[in-house]
Amino acid sequence: MEISFEIGNKKHKKHANSIAEMIERASERRGTVLAVRKSEYILDKLLKGKSIIALDGQVVVGFCYFQNWENDQFIAHSGLIVNENYLGRGLSKKLKKQIFDVSRQKFPKAKIFGLTTSPAVMKINYELGYQSVNYSQLTNDENFWIGCKSCSNYQLLIKEKRKKCKCTGMLMDPRNL
């Protein structure tokens, strides 16, 4: 069957639990650095069209979402996950490209950012025009940083006064394109 990539919407709400479970399993497998999200949070991203879902028939094979911050000045891409049975097929790159395009269409002047420890995600981000930056160049919105609480490195982030962590901060500023 061919994998489809779709902007999240109400017909995908039945997949919120399986996406949340995929994120939790991946976090456990890696032992670190994935902010775990509850199914209600995932459902919100699906219903608001702030996500891309990849499906093989009715099987969720990938997901990524975005959230806007500071009056739409910043857009964070997060939650990139690929079903472990579908790894190695380039799905991460396709998901990142599609969430990038959707968020750029909705918020063309916004700076897009993310936090990652994955060399593969860093490579994809560089291809999309991101640069590695200091955390001071990212959003100051407290609610964004609260989202890091479920990550195993949260205490390090707080100890370092949100200036650094194990994740690499990456930013795409449309003014530099």
Mean pLDDT, the chain, whole residue set: 92
Using CA atoms, how far apart are residues 58 and 72, in angstroms rounded to an integer? 33
Q: How confident is the model at residue 9 (pLDDT cuts 50, 70, 90)?
A: very high
Task: Judge whether residue 32 has pLDDT over 60.
Answer: no
Q: Is the model's pLDDT at 23 over the cut of 70?
A: yes
pLDDT for the residue 136: 94
Alpha carbons 78 and 148: distance in angstroms, whole number: 11
Q: How far apart are alpha carbons 149 and 12 in whole angstroms?
A: 27
**Amino acid occupying residue 80:** L
In this prediction the pTM is 0.92
Query: For position 99, what pLDDT does the model report?
Result: 98
- Closest CA relative to residue 60, chosen from 86, 24, 40, 28: 86
* Ramachandran sector of residue 143 (left: φ over 0; alpha: ψ -120 to 50; beta: rest): alpha
CA 32 – CA 113 distance, rounded (Å):
20
Question: Bridge partners of 77?
Answer: 66
17, 154, 166, 172 from 100: Cα distances, Å? 24, 26, 23, 10
pLDDT, tens digit, 9 for 90 and up, residues 95-147? 999 999 999 999 999 999 999 988 999 999 999 999 999 999 999 999 999 88
Classify the C-alpha dihedral 139-145-148-154 as positive or negative.
positive
- Give which of 110, 108, 113 is closest to 136, Cα–Cα: 113
Check pLDDT > 70 for residue 81: yes
Q: What is the mean pLDDT of residues 14-33?
A: 83
Instruction: Report the distance separating Cα 96 and Cα 65, nearest Å.
Output: 9
Mean local confidence (pLDDT), 159-165: 91
Please determine, for residue 33, whether its predicted confidence score (pLDDT) is greater than 80. Answer: no
